[in-house]
Structure formats: structure tokens, C-alpha cells
Amino acid sequence: MPAEPIFVDTSAFYALLDRADRHHEQARAIWPFLLDDRVALLTTNYVALETLKLLQYRISSEAARVWYRDVLDMLDVRWINEATHRQAFELWMSLGRQNLSLVDCVSYITMHQYQVEKAFCFKNGFEEQGFHVIPELKLDLKHCLK
């Protein structure tokens, strides 16, 4: 049985690492289930860059290095090409919301391209774009991964 793909967003990475984040405990409880062999974790190089920046400036450069070396290495990082970037930019322009970033739109486009239906994140935008969100499904995670 092929591994189920789950997209991991900056908001989940940050919650996982920052003890002061309001979603920290929830992220820590979910993370071990996502490391299961039946799950294929993926993200984009845009999310990686955004996460590195947040960790470096809000926590420390060391936290950013540890995340990059120990956590990001466990994921399949999809590198964004010019066509995907342009598509995401058009989506971003068409949605015209201040609380939506180009990185978010790149994530949505990437998820559609790779037929990923679930995201580990703490943002509403993913649900608004029709994706299933972990942990917002409010179901037992083991059930979500079936």
C-alpha cells in the first residue's frame, strides 16, 4: 500500500518547535503519528525558507539549523519551478486577501499538482481551499491516516 501524502506547513513546523506557540502541545502530540511508515510527508522549498526565517528570528539560528538538519531531512521537499510560482502568484492576486501569503498559494498549487488532500497546519486557508486539515479534522489521527 503506497504511503498517504500529507503536506506540512510552516505553521505546523513552528508550533512543533516553539514551546510558547499556542499549538505546541497539539503539534507535539500529532508529530509521532505522522512519522509512521504509512505517511509520506512533503513540503516545498518555499515553506522550508519561510520556516528557517521564522525559527532564526523568533527562536535562534541554532534552532533553525537543528530543524533543517534533523526535521526537514525527513520530508520530501518539492522544489518550485517558474511555472508553479507564476500559477501561485496568479492565485494570490485573484484571492486578494491580506492574511494570505504567496507561500500559502504555492502550497495549495503544489498540493493540487501532487494530489495531496491533507495538510498538517494551523491555518484556515487550507480548509478554505478544500483540503482536509490535521488537526482540525477533530478526529482520532489514527482514523485520519487510514
pTM of the shown model: 0.89
DSSP 14-52: HHHH-TTSTTHHHHHHHHHHHTSTTEEEEEEHHHHHHHH
| Per-residue pLDDT tens over the stretch 114-130 | 999 999 999 888 998 99
Residue 133's DSSP bridge partners are: 119
Residues 122 and 3: their CA atoms lie apart, in Å, by 23
CB-based contact 60:94 (threshold 8 Å): no
Strands (E), 17-145: 39-44, 76-78, 118-120, 132-134
Question: Residue 81 in contact with residue 107, Cβ under 8 Å?
Answer: no
Domains identified in the chain and CATH numbers = 4-81+116-138 (3.40.50.1010)
Question: Tens digits of per-residue pLDDT, 52-91?
Answer: 999 999 999 999 999 999 999 999 999 999 999 999 999 9
Band the pLDDT of 1: cuts 50, 70, 90.
Answer: low
**Whole-angstrom Cα distance, residue 47 to residue 143?**
27
